[in-house]
Amino acid sequence: MRDRLILLPGWGLGISPLEPLAAALQGLDEHLRVEIEPLPELDSSDLDEWLEELDASVPQDAWLGGWSLGGMLAAELAARRGERCCGLLTLASNPSFVAHAEWSSAMPAQTFDGFQAGCSADPRTTLKRFSLLCAQGAEDPRGLSRLLLGGAPHTAPAVLMSGLELLAQLDTRKALQAFRGPQLHLFAGLDGLVPAEAAGELLSLLPDVEIGLIEQASHAFLLEDPHGVAGAIQAFLHECGDD
C-alpha cells in the first residue's frame, strides 16, 4: 500500500487546512491515494484511547502523516504499527509541544497553561487566537487566519479541552526513535507555535531521518504553499520508492 497516504489534522481547525495539500499531492501523482482522517472526538485525554480509535479507523499498511498534533499522533501510531506502516511524515509537529527539561525548543509551559485556561473560559475566542498564532509569519497572516477559522468545525468544548490536555502530555521522542521506517519532518522558520530550533534538536535525536526547515513560513505553511510542500513530500516518497 505504498501508494496510500493518510493525513491527520491538527487541533481545533478540522480537516480543511489539509485539503489543498491533499489535492496538490494527487495532482503530482495520480497513483497516490491521499486521504484525510479526522481526529477522534473524545472527551478523554488518554493517549491509548486516541490511538485505539485511530488504529481502528485508519487503513493499515499506508504512509502516515499529520500536521502539528496530527503529526504527533501519526508518530505514535507509526511506532505502534511498526512494519505495518510504510513511513511517516510530519508537518510543523514538535515531539513535545510544551517545553520541559529534556526538550527546550517548544512552547513555554506558562504560555500553554494560559492558553488552556482561555479555552476553558471561551473556546471560540481561544480558537481565533490559535488561528492567528498558526498564521504568524505568513505573507498575509490575517487572510490566512480567516481561512483557517472559516473552515473550522463546531467542536464540543469538552473535545477541544481533551485535545489540549493530550497535546500538553504528548512526548513522541520514544515513538520516533522506535519507528524504523522512513521519516520526513518539515518545520517552518517563522512558526509562532513550534520554534524553528526544534528542527535542529530533532536532527540531534534522529540523525538518520529527513528533516527540512522552510525558512519564510508560518505554522500553517501547508496552507500557505500547498504545492511547494507537496513537491517536497512527493520527492521524499519517490526517493523511498527507489530504495
Report DSSP state, residue 47: H
**Cα–Cα distance between 157 and 120 in angstroms, integer?**
8
Torsion of the alpha carbons at 195, 39, 167 and 67, rounded to the nearest 10: -10
Phi/psi at 187 (nearest 5 deg)? Answer: -120, 165
Residues with catalytic annotation? Answer: 68, 191, 219
Nearest to 243 by CA among 60, 87, 34: 87
Give the three-state DSSP class for 63: strand
**Cα–Cα distance between 126 and 107 in angstroms, integer?**
16
**Cα–Cα distance between 94 and 41 in angstroms, integer?**
22
| Cell representation of residue 26 | 494527487
